[in-house]
Amino acid sequence: MTTFVDRVELHVAAGSGGHGCASVHREKFKPLGGPDGGNGGRGGDVILVVDQSVTTLLDYHHSPHRKATNGMPGAGDNRSGKDGQDLVLPVPDGTVILDKDGNVLADLVGQGTTYVASQGGRGGLGNAALASARRKAPGFALLGEPGDSGDVVLELKTVADVALVGYPSAGKSSLISVLSAAKPKIADYPFTTLVPNLGVVTAGATVYTIADVPGLIPGASQGKGLGLEFLRHVERCSVLVHVLDTATLESDRDPVSDLDIIEEELRQYGAGLENRPRIVVLNKIDVPDGQDLAEMVRPDLEARGYRVFEVSAVAHKGLKELSYALAEVVGAARAAKPKEEATRIVIRPKAVDDTGFTVTLGDDGIYRVRGEKPERWVRQTDFNNDEAVGYLADRLNRLGVEEALMKAGARTGDGVAIGPEENAVVFDWEPSVMAGAEMLGRRGEDHRLEAPRPAAQRRRDRDAERDDADAEYDDFEPF
């Protein structure tokens, strides 16, 4: 039998974008051909999609690391790099996507439902796309952005209309095998069923699915036995069917006490199961003692408000009445369910005065700039190219970062960090009165990089003083 896995931790990584190309068109008798570097390709996404033919997460249990392909770099002659190929991962219907803290990211129900688990990085622009009236021949290109990466938890919750619950060996597998075309493993020992089994039942004009949930025991809601592994599979079911064994050989068990114990486990598990309609099935009435016990406990169960059916999966007794009763309850549940409406696209434009970034002063005296655009521009910059660094400074100035730093109280030489604290680009700030291509000298040079760095010099002076003090302490000899 195929191993069943319904919870895995998946490590996904999208593809990185390809780098842009810095190239100059070369052709005979055309010495000034102009920039012709192409853009880099987009990195591939990691996409989870519901596939009805997939019933388990076993593949991701054996291979939990999945990565999409990177975009190709651009080339000369205005040739853009090829986009990375998206990695499409099929998952079973009813898969819930969670982060490592247990927060639900997506609930995938229905054939073809998709979720982008990791988004590919943008490709960098080539120097042909960066050319402008002021910068006619850029000697640099933008780098491709790295793709997103992280860990997600896939948790499978069976999508069915009816769930059969009860003690091990109560006859749930036998019942689903005669109600539908399902062929579960059946034996006379506890915990025969180790995986949820699904079957399709047709009763008149109603077609519904029924799930055989592995046997529950006292303490299942706290993880005893197989409880926690499979109680999640009853969360989506509209109807709960208690399958009670009327021919058990255990002296300390009877149908009523079994029902009370399972109900207590369902109550402790929660997830709204206390509000689901219930039907009680007294199974194994083909056994003489089972028939007698069913007749004894039926009045007590009906007095509690349950609809009770006496059946025998082996002798095929009472199955037709049960299947039509389930169809009636399922039909009522479907009718009461609100109609699904098409997803409305909500557009939330940014406020007119929203700059898209923030400037804060940290405890270490460094001004931190956080925002989508500044951080993305930093990731795209090749800091080994002086002209690329000057282009970054121009972009930040046009965005208003310099003005915001001045308002925040930053002075010449103060440290400025752009990006998250663990991976930020730190530099000494030198405000400029004007910024643009006219400030650049020859292509590939930026005089702003040659300016003195007072903050760095102050740090070096402090370090030197500290080293001198440590040296004097080491040379000190006590009397």
Q: How high is the pLDDT of residue 200?
A: 81
Confidence of residue 452 (pLDDT cuts 50, 70, 90): low
- pLDDT per residue as tens digits for the range 247-266: 776 667 788 888 888 888 77
Rounded CA separation 173/314 (Å): 11
Q: How far is CA 405 from CA 363, 400, 444, in A?
A: 16, 9, 27
Rounded CA separation 249/292 (Å): 14
Q: How high is the pLDDT of residue 353?
A: 61
Task: Give Cβ neighbours of residue 411 (< 8 Å, ≥ 6 apart).
Answer: none
Mean pLDDT check: name the lowest of 53-62, 77-86, 220-229, 382-391.
220-229
Using alpha carbons, select from 31, 42, 21 the residue that is nearest to residue 140. Answer: 21
Q: How high is the pLDDT of residue 225?
A: 43
As a whole number, mean pLDDT of residues 303-324 equals 88
Mean pLDDT check: name the lowest of 202-206, 356-360, 458-462.
458-462
- pLDDT per residue as tens digits for the range 60-95: 988 999 999 999 999 999 999 999 999 999 998 888
More confident site: 96 or 272:
96
Using alpha carbons, select from 90, 71, 247 the residue that is nearest to residue 147. Answer: 71
- Average per-residue pLDDT in the chain? 80
Q: How high is the pLDDT of residue 224?
A: 46
Confidence of residue 153 (pLDDT cuts 50, 70, 90): very high
Q: How high is the pLDDT of residue 438?
A: 43
Q: What percent of the chain is predicted at pLDDT more than 70?
A: 79
Q: How high is the pLDDT of residue 255?
A: 85
- pLDDT per residue as tens digits for the range 99-111: 988 888 988 888 8
